[in-house]
Amino acid sequence: MATDKISIRGIDTPVSRIALGTWAIGGWMWGGPDDDNAIKTIHRALDEGINFIDTAPVYGFGHSEEVIGRALEGGRREKVVLATKLGLAWTDDQKVYRDSRPERVRKEVEDSLKRLKTDYLDLEQVHWPDGKTPVEDTAAELEKLRQEGKIRAIGVSNFSVANMDEFAKNAPLSTIQPPYNLFERVTTERDILPYAKTHDAVVLAYGPLCRGLLAGKMNKDTTFPKDDLRSGDPKFQRPKFEHYLAAVEDLKKIAEKHGKNILALAIRWVLDQGPTVALWGARKPAQIDGISEAFGWSLSAEDKREIGAILNRHVPDSIEPDFMAPPQRD
């Protein structure tokens, strides 16, 4: 059972330091939805002590939120801290773009409430900064919604420090959600973690397994279909892919010293970095296996030195996930 928890400003219930990430549950860019397995996955996560679920409208164009809404019926909603996002819109042909105008903010909150079958959101986050809308306008509208009781806490995702400074002048900032894992760490360690520690914010690390690379199940022959996100990720293209796989093999040896697998090591590393929550993506119940292995231990200073040496040896030039950034609106 997951027992390690952390408090988020504005939310009364402490959250598990592993949250269920639900991008894949929406199906988009992950090979299509599988609702029966998705609902079983959510229930399995709750049974394992996970009380924190992170979603977004763009995950399946509303589908992930709808599935979560169904899964939390029957008295489960009040046992869960529910986080979603806003600020991404899409065309009829599923072209995604950024839009955080105040009117869009309000509409997205209302739409998420309906899809999730709830009358409040524990945490509402701005998914990506909208370069064509003043940050203060987006923040001010979210603060109005918080005052109205429709949301309890506010966060941002993929924001720079400068954007967060502007945002925080108009609304309390409780969480920051950047990509963060052993292979994508430079920007978060340089900018985001220090900001979070200074401003009493919690970092929700998305992609802690680097899109499955740190689950330890891939090999040099692993391929991805065109509709899979990883088909456009430079880490999964040769020859870089082989370098990352070599790093994984060496990281496994450190995990084995603790009687753990590479997956548990990758999550534990994120949790050891500071005020962090790791978003554990899953779409099948079996993908919840191993969550408890990340709790009850820590990496030593020597472990961290060895990990640093492995990363420097195999992947000295960290590739940040810039390819994932959606375009600004026309």
**214 and 249 in contact (C-beta within 8 Å)?**
no
Q: For the segment 161-181, what is each residue's pLDDT rounded down to a tens digit?
A: 999 999 999 999 999 999 999
pLDDT band of 3, cuts 50, 70, 90: low
Q: State yes or no: pLDDT of 33 exceeds 80.
A: no
Q: For the segment 63-94, what is each residue's pLDDT rounded down to a tens digit?
A: 999 999 999 999 999 999 999 999 999 998 88
Q: Which residue has the tokens 């924001």?
A: 159
Alpha carbons 268 and 283: distance in angstroms, whole number = 21
- Which pLDDT does position 323 carry in this prediction? 83
Full 3-state SS string of the chain: CCCCEECCCCCCCCEECEEEECHHHHCCCECCCCHHHHHHHHHHHHHCCCCEEECCCCCCCCHHHHHHHHHCCCCCHHHCEEEEEECEEECCCCCEEECCCHHHHHHHHHHHHHHHCCCCEEEEEECCCCCCCCHHHHHHHHHHHHHCCCEEEEEEECCCHHHHHHHHCCCCCCEEECECECCECHHHHHHHHHHHHHCCCEEEEECCCCCCHHHCCCCCCCCCCCCEHHHHCHHHCCCHHHHHHHHHHHHHHHHHHCCCCHHHHHHHHHHCCCCEEEEEECCCHHHHCCHHHHCCCCCCHHHHHHHHHHHHHHCCCCCCCHHHCCCECC
Alpha carbons 278 and 267: distance in angstroms, whole number = 7
- Which pLDDT does position 35 carry in this prediction? 85
Q: State yes or no: pLDDT of 2 exceeds 60.
A: no
Q: What percent of the chain has pLDDT over 70?
A: 97
- Which pLDDT does position 318 carry in this prediction? 83
The CA distances from residue 243 to 184, 209, 229, 269, in Å, are 14, 16, 20, 20
**214 and 15 in contact (C-beta within 8 Å)?**
no
Arithmetic mean of pLDDT over the chain: 93
- Which pLDDT does position 121 carry in this prediction? 98
Residue 277, beta-bridge partner list: 204
- Which pLDDT does position 330 carry in this prediction? 80
pTM value?
0.95
pLDDT band of 301, cuts 50, 70, 90: very high
Q: For the segment 86-126, what is each residue's pLDDT rounded down to a tens digit?
A: 999 999 888 999 999 999 999 999 999 999 999 999 999 99
Q: State yes or no: pLDDT of 154 exceeds 80.
A: yes
Task: Please say if 206 is a catalytic residue.
Answer: no
Q: State yes or no: pLDDT of 293 exceeds 90.
A: yes
- Which pLDDT does position 282 carry in this prediction? 86
The CA R_g of the chain, rounded to the nearest whole Å, is 19
Residue 212 or 8, more confident: 8
Pseudo-torsion of CA 9, 10, 16, 20, nearest 10°?
A: -120
The CA distances from residue 47 to 209, 236, 285, in Å, are 22, 33, 11
- Which pLDDT does position 129 carry in this prediction? 96
Q: Give the domain 5-214+273-293 fold.
A: TIM Barrel (3.20.20)
- Average pLDDT on 227-238 reads 87
At 273, list the tokens.
Answer: 């970095």
Q: State yes or no: pLDDT of 29 exceeds 70.
A: no
